[in-house]
Amino acid sequence: MVSSWGQHLRITIFGESHGPQIGVVLDGLPPGEELDLESIQAFLRRRAPGRTPWSTARREEDSFSIVSGFYQGCTTGTPLCALLANKDVRSESYTQFQQLPRPSHADYTGWIRYAGANDPRGGGHFSGRLTAPLCLAGAIALQILSRRGVTVAARLAQIGPVQDVPLDLARPDPPLLHALTKKDFPVVDDTKGREMQAAIEAARAGGDSVGGVIQAFVLGLPPGLGDPIFGGVESRAASLLYGIPAVKGVSFGAGFQVCARRGSENNDAFCLEEGRVRTRTNNDGGLNGGITNGMPVVVNVAVKPTPSIGLPQQSVDVQAGREDTLSITGRHDPCLVPRALPAVEAALGLVFLDLFVGAYGVTGRP
Amino acid sequence: MVSSWGQHLRITIFGESHGPQIGVVLDGLPPGEELDLESIQAFLRRRAPGRTPWSTARREEDSFSIVSGFYQGCTTGTPLCALLANKDVRSESYTQFQQLPRPSHADYTGWIRYAGANDPRGGGHFSGRLTAPLCLAGAIALQILSRRGVTVAARLAQIGPVQDVPLDLARPDPPLLHALTKKDFPVVDDTKGREMQAAIEAARAGGDSVGGVIQAFVLGLPPGLGDPIFGGVESRAASLLYGIPAVKGVSFGAGFQVCARRGSENNDAFCLEEGRVRTRTNNDGGLNGGITNGMPVVVNVAVKPTPSIGLPQQSVDVQAGREDTLSITGRHDPCLVPRALPAVEAALGLVFLDLFVGAYGVTGRP
Amino acid sequence: MVSSWGQHLRITIFGESHGPQIGVVLDGLPPGEELDLESIQAFLRRRAPGRTPWSTARREEDSFSIVSGFYQGCTTGTPLCALLANKDVRSESYTQFQQLPRPSHADYTGWIRYAGANDPRGGGHFSGRLTAPLCLAGAIALQILSRRGVTVAARLAQIGPVQDVPLDLARPDPPLLHALTKKDFPVVDDTKGREMQAAIEAARAGGDSVGGVIQAFVLGLPPGLGDPIFGGVESRAASLLYGIPAVKGVSFGAGFQVCARRGSENNDAFCLEEGRVRTRTNNDGGLNGGITNGMPVVVNVAVKPTPSIGLPQQSVDVQAGREDTLSITGRHDPCLVPRALPAVEAALGLVFLDLFVGAYGVTGRP
Amino acid sequence: MVSSWGQHLRITIFGESHGPQIGVVLDGLPPGEELDLESIQAFLRRRAPGRTPWSTARREEDSFSIVSGFYQGCTTGTPLCALLANKDVRSESYTQFQQLPRPSHADYTGWIRYAGANDPRGGGHFSGRLTAPLCLAGAIALQILSRRGVTVAARLAQIGPVQDVPLDLARPDPPLLHALTKKDFPVVDDTKGREMQAAIEAARAGGDSVGGVIQAFVLGLPPGLGDPIFGGVESRAASLLYGIPAVKGVSFGAGFQVCARRGSENNDAFCLEEGRVRTRTNNDGGLNGGITNGMPVVVNVAVKPTPSIGLPQQSVDVQAGREDTLSITGRHDPCLVPRALPAVEAALGLVFLDLFVGAYGVTGRP
């Protein structure tokens, strides 16, 4: 335990990178919600490997089938299980890692945690591949949320040393955010996007990898969602976002930048706009005391450079009990960030649908 | 919901800032654990207000009583409830905030969330005062963990623009970390500490406040603790740490710094030390795939500047429906960071005792 | 773990029979609900010991104080903690039971479960005294439910061999049920009630005890409450009812009697009454597939005879490792059933308030 | 929610009677446990329909595939998902029931609960077919438990008015119990078994059905398993057992019979046997205060007569809003009890494996 998450809506993720199938169960979905399977498939395609030059060589169509909780085009409200097949599986290249674990990977910790019984192929249950069922669940949640006026959009805020342009956290341009969800490489400033792609390509060419930052916006939320103390949106969102492999930091609004500021500079003054309470700035990322204040929720996610790299690295042969050099052959993903981006959107979709169902009951409708 | 947290060990926090009592229930403690009440009281004193020049004017002794789950000096294993009284309560100064909410505070969101029924005095259930029962629970967990070889120590890594000296995340000096837990103002470099205190005093004098970063180390952990996906240490720790008011960011190891790095630079190479698998660096903060690798777990927590400041601020009179200026009188806490520090240590104590009980069963002993 | 219960509304019970205080935390209550403390106290009095000839000699006023989650006469929606003091505590008489455990009591199993560290005085956390906080929580839930048209009433259906008259499970007379909640000894037929009291008195006089059956009705429920499989009303109710000491059986509607029947005899035919779907009979106790069908929910609870009796019994001296005879002196409760009755009502109040909050959201209002 | 169950080991069941696949996810299994797939299949066959004269006409092979959490013949410790296909599906016969619901079935309540969006075919998610994944999960748990010395065996204690012979609850004969798990019609006295089968056949011939009682024994349990209050074995077991369709009563040990007894008659006196603490009788069914006392755990489960019968019944046309007569054609299962029996065994396997993992940690080994 625990590959499950959620209080009112509960997702359970299962599968291994090279097993026959991976999937997800969603329990607690509002009944009678039409699902557009084409859109879900399109959402999954954004995450799928092998599609872009900056991605891994593995190719997966990520076509899915829903085997329960779905009837006559709509959710039934009973548990929805969706399955994806693993097709492009070349396991021989992974067997060495249980003996000589990859630095900064879960090879070693998984081996210890499961006393050697875990499936090591392709990272097993720890693989980034497990973000596919997360994205699938999130795509369903996002469709349902969009009918309640809520949209989520994320961008690559940073790749290696290259940063996208700053955005007004309080009043981001909705069409601009919407456009991000249609881009192959979602940045606001495409010039910066090309620099980022060059940084990825340079890393790849050097047998290396780069990290980055994803920044996501949730628009259209009513104030008053979330719970105090450990039920705050930050607690809920972080516990889910840290389920995405390679995430090492999660912050909200202005994030770690607030630490160097004074209160007078950082506080988000209240104002009235068309009769509604708003804030002038949004350093708090739309959240006070863990509860939405009606402003956009802004989340920043730090993704580390892919630990699987081509350059030789020092490791330990855990069976022989001696240090050894690890050389990974084959093409690897030089940057996980673009593929982690839809997983971040998916996670936020799940966080807020969970809260809608909690706040408004089984229909998730105010 | 949810003011509860934990999978195997469950804490439930209750109370309001100006109610008669606040407290915590811990369910799932190992039985037969001796508790040193003096040490718990000393731990609570680190958090208590009114003790230092850089703190709020409210004075609370934070003396506690344990009313259940404790017999003949030891935990019984049944739910332990501990209570603290609220004594220094001056509520008249808070009544205005339900009408004219403080920017970046939970006054407005709490009022919406609870349809006006919440207790607004002193921030009610959203008050930083609720970290007292968290610290109490954590102090108990830390005592039990210390018998299993695990210690937690945190420092003020940054206050406003002033940063403490860098530490080697892989091999921090244990006596140096231990010394932190005895300091009134826990920094490694006391010169930097004095600069930080000056920054706090300057903010206070200007009717303003400052934020900061807390960095915590957990030493003595075995490898293999934690669970995959949403059960990872990061997910568990972040969900608890975000329950501490004013926390806006949580990261592990090198945190957001990893985003700009290459994998070859960031990966933590494995090595052997006295026959044990270790890593040379510790950018991952002791965690791979959500599971401990036997290195120190390193956590960074961003705390925003106290939103309650003396300078006038713009707000909205939510009853009259017009913008208005808010002026808060009385002395306020110019920096929450020093008092949030023991709460961070407490939270990590709870995270790992929860994992010990999960991994090893009800005794929490390997 | 686990002294907590509930999915949407969560109660956590703590305390030991002879500790200073016992209590309960309710998290997830709808905000803004007025609480009539006098009525809660009156409800608690029904459970309190020392009040009637057929009860134990221990006298407890069971006066309570609410220390959180309650402001200006109403629930705030944040965790409500209520405390009760233990006053009439004579512990010396219990110390022997950790050595020579009482048959059919939790003395032995508690000692094993907690490796001897549990508080043995008065049964500790296993004591029937812990139904006081359960009743307190339930009394709050019942008040809130009554504003939503739901009432709960229970009767002593059997004490020892004496049975109360049968009731029509489909159309019980509401005034008759309401009258039960006002009776000191809640039976429909008071002649039978006097026979039951005579059976209790005879047991008491013989140093012995008797068991019985409680039958509870929940009226005014809408159809459609509950969830499939493990989320059914039966699963939820039974898991809570078995938290009441001495309960050994829980059934719904016609209960174990249905086993001997044919389907044609047992099925509850649908009919229309004033345009609403109803059933002619109610052998299913208002539940199909775990979900309310709009008929009264009927629950039967089997309570065993009090295990503490005056007659000498065989036990084992677990420290000396030899069989020995146990003689319990002092006056004991010859029948737990009348005092378990309000706990059953309380439990059902909690079950359905939990479901209202789940179905309709944080206000618990359709 | 909630089609999940379990605290330390978590099962999640999904699927509908006539959907493409049904299945289960088990999270928290001990790693490295060899699974004998043949035995699991044999266990499933005991539940499968169409196999015996007293069963439904539907024929399902119930062959399953494990798609995750299983590697090189052993559990990995990560979530295990197993799938079963629905093959013998004739849905046309069910479409009428959403309009004219079957008495004492979940047709009406499911329709209300899910606002008409649930899959009505074959009872959908409420179908007895969903006991197949429960049995599958339980068969896995039982294999793992058997390596820890724990075995579960159940019998048909009653079918209609016919009862099997009484058994000594304290010292049931282990070979006799073991033989039950091998019988097609598990009763102790086969003469009684033939009478029961005659009762089923008579009901079937009359277009009717019968109910019955299942009695299960769990042998080999250590004392001290379980938790107080809502974490007792009774609470856990009942919450799971009530997830089996048609169960209307659950009791432990002597069950409802204890109500008529005196304490002196009902108490289970302690004794020493080969140096171990035991009880002479076992009216408490091996449980005191919710915790195992080392005696066999005895559970009684009341199963109502199958609500689907051939005789005409009164129902309500919920679309037309008028009473109408329902006639169900086709062959139906005249008695659910024999097929519910392996589900009861499976449930108890899950209850105790959950407790082993909680008590002893992730390996589930003392």
Asked if residue B125 belongs to a domain, the reply is yes
Give the whole-angstrom CA distance, residue A91 versus residue D139.
Answer: 30
Is a pLDDT exceeding 80 seen at residue C109? yes
Asked if residue B366 belongs to a domain, the reply is no
* Contact flag C358-A360 (C-beta cutoff 8 Å): no
Asked if residue B365 belongs to a domain, the reply is no
Q: Are D120 and D110 in contact (CB under 8 A)?
A: yes
Q: How far is A20 from chain C (nearest CA, A)?
A: 28
Residue C99 has, within 13 A of its CA and on its CB side, a CA count of: 11
Asked if residue D365 belongs to a domain, the reply is no
Token pair 């103390």 is found at A229
CB atoms < 10 A from the CB of B11, how many? 31
- Nearest-10 Cα torsion for C86, C91, C93, C98: 110
Q: How far is B205 from chain A (nearest CA, A)?
A: 12
Cα diameter, chain A: 71
* Contact flag A248-B255 (C-beta cutoff 8 Å): yes
Token pair 């892919």 is found at A306
Q: Which amino acid is at D263?
A: G
Give the whole-angstrom CA distance, residue B358 versus residue B366.
Answer: 11
Kindly state the tokens that stand for C72: 């200006």
Choice between B42 and B57, residue whose per-residue pLDDT is larger: B42
Rounded to the nearest integer, the mean pLDDT of chain C is 94
Q: Are strands D322-326 and D313-317 parallel, antiparallel or unpaired?
A: antiparallel
Angle, CA of C131, C134 and C138, to the nearest 5°: 135
Q: Are C285 and C297 in contact (CB under 8 A)?
A: yes
- Length of chain C equals 366
Asked if residue D212 belongs to a domain, the reply is yes
Helices (H), chain D: 37-47, 107-113, 131-146, 174-180, 190-205, 233-241, 263-266, 337-360
- The 10s digit of each residue's pLDDT in C231-279 is 999 999 999 999 999 999 999 999 999 999 999 999 999 999 999 999 9
Give the per-residue pLDDT at C96.
Answer: 82
Asked if residue D366 belongs to a domain, the reply is no
Asked if residue D117 belongs to a domain, the reply is yes
- The 10s digit of each residue's pLDDT in B144-168 is 999 999 999 999 999 999 999 999 9
Q: How far is A365 from chain C (nearest CA, A)?
A: 10
Q: Which chain A residues are closer than 8 Å to D28 by Cβ? A: 1-2
Print the SS3 string covering B255-316: HHHHHHCEHHHHCCCEEEECCEEEECCCCCCCEECCEECCCCEEEEEEECCCCCCCCCEEEE
- Nearest-10 Cα torsion for D118, D119, D123, D127: -90
Range of C205's domain?
Answer: 4-360
Is a pLDDT exceeding 80 seen at residue D80? yes
Q: Are A106 and B289 in contact (CB under 8 A)?
A: yes
Is a pLDDT exceeding 60 seen at residue B54? no
Give the whole-angstrom CA distance, residue D237 versus residue C249.
Answer: 12
- Length of chain B equals 366
Q: How far is D158 from chain C (nearest CA, A)?
A: 8
Interface test with A, best of B227, B248, B313, B357 (most A CBs within 10 A): B248
Please write down the long-range contacts of D355-359, taking CB distance under 8 Å and 24 or more positions apart. D355/D8, D355/D225, D355/D226, D355/D233, D355/D236, D356/D145, D356/D148, D356/D150, D356/D225, D357/D8, D357/D9, D357/D28, D357/D30, D358/B8, D358/B361, D358/B362, D358/C1, D358/D7, D358/D8, D358/D227, D359/B361, D359/B362, D359/D224, D359/D225
Give the CA distances from residue D336 to residues A139, B224, B275, C228, D52, in Å, rounded to whole numbers and listed in that order: 40, 45, 60, 19, 12
Q: How far is C291 from chain D (nearest CA, A)?
A: 6
Q: Count of domains in chain B?
A: 1
For residue A219, the surrounding DSSP H or E stretch is: strand A212-219
Is a pLDDT exceeding 80 seen at residue C51? no
- The 10s digit of each residue's pLDDT in B59-80 is 667 899 999 999 999 999 999 9
Q: How far is D265 from chain B (nearest CA, A)?
A: 31
Q: How far is D327 from chain C (nearest CA, A)?
A: 12
Give the whole-angstrom CA distance, residue B4 versus residue A142.
Answer: 28
Give the whole-angstrom CA distance, residue B171 versus residue A267.
Answer: 38
What are the backbone angles phi and psi of residue D106, rounded to the nearest 5°? -90, 10
* Contact flag C228-A78 (C-beta cutoff 8 Å): yes
Nearest C-alpha in D relative to B355: D361
Q: Number of CB pairs < 8 Å for A and C?
A: 16
Interface test with A, best of C4, C227, C230, C365 (most A CBs within 10 A): C227
Nearest C-alpha in D relative to A81: D14
For residue C248, the surrounding DSSP H or E stretch is: strand C247-252
Q: Number of CB pairs < 8 Å for A and D?
A: 173
Asked if residue A365 belongs to a domain, the reply is no
For C64-76, give the DSSP string. Answer: EEE-SSEETTEE-
* C248 → closest Cβ in D13, D258, D313: D258
Omega before residue C218 within 30° of 0, cis: no
For C113-132, give the DSSP string. Answer: HTTT-S--GGGGGGSGGGHH
Give the whole-angstrom CA distance, residue B5 versus residue B9.
Answer: 8
D61 confidence band (pLDDT: 50, 70, 90):
confident
Nearest C-alpha in B relative to D28: B227
| Contact residues of B toward D, CB < 8 A | 8, 78, 228, 358-362
Kindly state the tokens that stand for C78: 């944040």
Contacting chains of D (3 CB pairs or more, <8 Å) are A, B, C
Nearest C-alpha in D relative to B366: D361
- The 10s digit of each residue's pLDDT in C197-209 is 999 999 999 999 9
Nearest C-alpha in D relative to A16: D68
Print the SS3 string covering C210-235: ECEEEEEEEECCCCCCCCCHHHCHHH
Q: Are D126 and D337 in contact (CB under 8 A)?
A: no
Q: Which chain C residues are closer than 8 Å to B125 by Cβ? A: 68-69, 76, 78-79
Which is it for the CA torsion D241, D244, D249, D253, positive or negative? negative
* B15 → closest Cβ in C23, C67, C114: C67
Interface test with C, best of B4, B14, B74, B84 (most C CBs within 10 A): B14
Kindly state the tokens that stand for A159: 């790749």
| Contact residues of D toward B, CB < 8 A | 8, 78, 228, 358-362
Kindly state the tokens that stand for B13: 């926090």
First to last CA, chain D: 33
- The 10s digit of each residue's pLDDT in A55-77 is 555 666 789 999 999 999 999 99
- The 10s digit of each residue's pLDDT in A150-174 is 999 999 999 999 999 999 999 999 9
Q: Are B127 and B89 in contact (CB under 8 A)?
A: no
Give the whole-angstrom CA distance, residue B312 versus residue B207.
Answer: 9
Kindly state the tokens that stand for A251: 């912050």
* Bridge partners, residue D271, by sequence: D278
Q: Are strands C70-71 and C64-66 parallel, antiparallel or unpaired?
A: unpaired
Contacting chains of C (3 CB pairs or more, <8 Å) are A, B, D
Which is it for the CA torsion D333, D339, D343, D344, positive or negative? positive
* Contact flag C359-A360 (C-beta cutoff 8 Å): no
pTM for this model (two decimals): 0.97
B16 confidence band (pLDDT: 50, 70, 90):
very high
Nearest C-alpha in C relative to A366: C361
* Contact flag C31-B76 (C-beta cutoff 8 Å): no
Is a pLDDT exceeding 80 seen at residue C183? yes
Kindly state the tokens that stand for C250: 């829980």
Give the CA distances from residue C290 to residues A27, A75, C229, D100, in Å, rounded to whole numbers and listed in that order: 16, 20, 7, 19
* Contact flag C223-D109 (C-beta cutoff 8 Å): yes
Interface test with A, best of D10, D11, D14 (most A CBs within 10 A): D14
Q: Which amino acid is at C291?
A: I
Share of chain A above pLDDT 70, in %: 95
- The 10s digit of each residue's pLDDT in B173-214 is 999 999 999 999 999 999 999 999 999 999 999 999 999 999
Nearest C-alpha in A relative to B313: A269
Q: Quick one: DSSP state of residue C29?
A: P
Q: How far is D358 from chain C (nearest CA, A)?
A: 9
Residue B83 has, within 13 A of its CA and on its CB side, a CA count of: 23
Q: Number of CB pairs < 8 Å for B and C?
A: 173
Q: List the CATH number of the domain containing B77.
A: 3.60.150.10
